[in-house]
Structure 1
Amino acid sequence: MSQKQNITDVLMVGATGSIGQFAVRAAQRHGLRPRALVRDLRRAERLLPDVELVQGDLEDPASLQYAIRGADAIVLTHGSGGDSRSDARARVDYGGVLNILQALDGARPRVALMTSIYATRSDIPGATPWKRRSERLLRAGGLPHTIVRPGWFDHVGPTQRRLVLEQGGTADGGIARDQIAETLVRSLLTDNALGKTFELIATEGDEPSDWAELFGTLKSDESGSLDGVLDPVGLLVEAEPRTLRADLEAIRSLRGTSG
């Protein structure tokens, strides 16, 4: 996944959410053309008055094909929000990624996916495997990608601007929403971010000045692996429900990455 890719048009999924709005603005600051996937056009017009909007629903695969068309990249900040029901997380956190991948129809945009700092943790109350499962779908698809696992939203002070990128699933801490958004967009524009999965928190200090160096300290995910490079062992693919294993094989076959 080392190929260069010119990025101009970016589909923003979750664009009206608390991270997505920051991501749209970050994309604009960096000279990109964001296109927001939204369900409610009137609400989106109020929140993002100067942004191209396209109506669609992550739970309706047919509605995604037009939105994706022509996108050089996709930023995924969607989520089931405060709905903690397992079926909501399955439909949105996981199902949204599945439906996006199935709607690509041969296109190969660069993808920045936001999941969770606890994506690999089973010892944290309330943590579920659906974020990790969505990551596996993206890796199975073979697209150029970066996966960002942010810590607790806004559990930082105003002087905690130094970003800490870790791997291995043991990180804990907070991160400002605008920092998450900036990292996602920067990952699209930095070759050193390709093929990497990491946890993201902030500590006392200044904003990063060299993003290539920041991403360059990370290990890349192993080619062909469904998991992050230093992810803890625990959620075995073989132990997953048959329907989820079938999804992975379908995406691999669709993207021509079987084996």
Structure 2
Amino acid sequence: MIASSASAEPALKELHAESLFHGVPGTIVIKNLKTDKIYTYNRVRSTMRFTPESTFKVPNALIGLEEHAVEDEYEVKRWDGVVREFDVWNRDHSLASAMRQSAIWYYQALARDIGPERMQSNLARIHYGNEDISGGIDQFWLNSSLNISALEQVHFIEELVEESLPFSEQTMRTVKRMMIDSEEDDYTLHGKTGTRLSDLGLGWYIGYVDTDHADWVFATNVDSSGTTAKAITLECLERLDII
């Protein structure tokens, strides 16, 4: 188990999770949506904003569906023939498969189809981080102008889980379905990684766990890769007996 101690705020508990990070700077925030208790490691960093990288695929998909820039999760975009970093990217993709395989090019094309005005308007409506898309319509979330904190990610995912975002029920349920990482007998894990590919110096894992007893929302970032952030998150969730 990970030890926790109450802070001055009764709903906030500090996680003593240093061993999970192996000396690499990072933070994790986990919220129980039934009790509203928030568990956090490195509270100071949890309020610091970083570029969302591929975790932005979640709001990008929501906005794209709501604005009918894409009709559903099955809509395919044809690969343009440009060979990119990962073989799995170098093929046709649907909205859902590009989410699962984190194919950046698909979501860059989707952002261009949404366009700056509609993108800016929607980011303002959902209060997503600093709402800054000045880095370019197909680049602003990739080590660029858009920034968001782990605490803000948790709030955003919480609203998605509770379907209180200003989007249609169908749109939110579609994206939640696309985010499923694993389905077990007693829980379903929904998540999305993100990695700053230029230097692997920032990794994210955000999402939520749906259990019989409660929903748990989480966001982790670390000065490493999204794979590392996911591994830390899963181990923390296991030690807290959430999964």
Same fold (TM over 0.5): no
Give the structure-2-normalised TM-score. Answer: 0.29
Larger fraction in strand: 2
Give the structure-1-normalised TM-score. Answer: 0.28
